[in-house]
Amino acid sequence: MVHYRILFIVNPISGFGLGWEIPYRIRHIAAYKDIEYNIRFTEYAGHAKEIVEQAKHQNYTHIIAAGGDGTVNEIGTALINTGIAFGVISLGSGNGFARHLGFSQMMNKALKQILKSETTDIDVVEINGHYSLNVSGFGFDAEVAHFFSRMKIRGIFSYIYSIIHMWFRYPSKRYVFHIDGKTWEEDCFVLSVANSSQYGNNASIAPKASLRDGLVDVCILKRPKYYQIPRFLYCFMNSKIARLPYFSEIQCKEAILEGDLNKAHIDGDPYILESPVKVKVLPGVLKVIAPKLSRKKKNMTV
């Protein structure tokens, strides 16, 4: 029998503020009747990391982030090399990392998955000293992350507005790649470094990505021409982006990128980095709950 001592760290402003419901929901799930757990609400940006630092010395077996991708990154990266199992209750607008691991987007179901699912060790990607669990990048999607962070209203509609706004303004840029002993230059519209496969909402930029392969996927998308946009959107939302001739995905352990890389995003949050950017994978450093591994369907992997 697995012994549980669980800490839920809830960002009460994530998404629609549903995090406030978590204590009530847990009390009404029979499986939690005999489980030892605590719930902490964050009060400001960066608070989740401080809570994890204290919790590391309090014998927790599992720490669960209830929030969006920002909260997931803050808590997950603070748990690297601790051996404490990390899980997610999705409250954000995209929830790419949680979706890749197979967490339900329904709060009650995800709470039950925490108690029923296998755990596994996954990779984390280091980018100039910052840690990424999900998808990070430069180019168009970094520009979108910076624009979105300045908007007064958050949420999926503001995010879609930011994408459309930047699509017509952002020019492709030229970058230098140093990967596996080869060096080349290439124009990119999107330049992503992916640990998991998707940004969120099943929008997949790295269909080959696995969290357990010891590799980071460098994904290059050239700007689709206007008449290519419908097919691009179809492939992007259906994990078929690899079919597009203007997309490539390079799997490697390390990469060095040069060019105009100042504006970046790490798991969706805007960052300013300096070129050259060094990307490397840290294999198997984070223990996570992976509901997908507990499904009966064959070939399910994370």
Ligand X SMILES: Nc1ncnc2c1ncn2[C@@H]1O[C@H](COP(=O)(O)OP(=O)(O)OP(=O)(O)O)[C@@H](O)[C@H]1O
Phi/psi zone of residue 200: left (φ > 0), alpha (ψ -120 to 50 degrees), beta? left
- How many angstroms separate the CA atoms of 255 and 249, rounded? 13
158 sits in which H/E element? helix 156-167
Using the minimum distance from each CB to ligand X, give the nearer residue, 68 or 207. 68
Give contact residues for ligand X (rule: CB under 6 A).
Answer: 11-15, 42-47, 67-71, 74, 92-94, 154, 268
Output 80 or 256, the one with its CB closest to ligand X. Answer: 80
Residue nearest to ligand X (CB): 68
167 vs 151: CA distance, rounded Å: 17
Task: Tell me the closest approach of the beta carbon of residue 45 to ligand X, in angstroms.
Answer: 3
CB of 159 to ligand X, least distance (A): 7
Query: Measured from the CB atom, is 87 or 268 closer to ligand X?
Result: 268
Q: How far is the CB of 25 from ligand X (least distance, A)?
A: 18
Residue number, 13 or 176, with CB nearest to ligand X: 13
Helix (H) or strand (E) holding 175: strand 173-179
What is the secondary structure of 77-130 as a DSSP string? Answer: HHTTTS--EEEEEE-SS-BHHHHHHT--SSHHHHHHHHHH--EEEEEEEEETTE
At closest approach, how far in Å is the CB of 7 from ligand X? 16
- Closer CB to ligand X, residue 14 or residue 132? 14
Q: Write down the least CB distance from residue 10 to ligand X, Å.
A: 9
**SS3 at position 213:** coil
Q: What is the DSSP letter of 12?
A: T
Of 50 and 258, CB closest to ligand X: 50
Task: Give Cα separations from 239 to 72, 130, 132, 199 (angstroms).
Answer: 23, 27, 21, 11
Q: How far is the CB of 226 from ligand X (least distance, A)?
A: 28
115: exposed, middle or buried (Cβ count in 10 Å: 0-12, 13-18, 19+)? middle
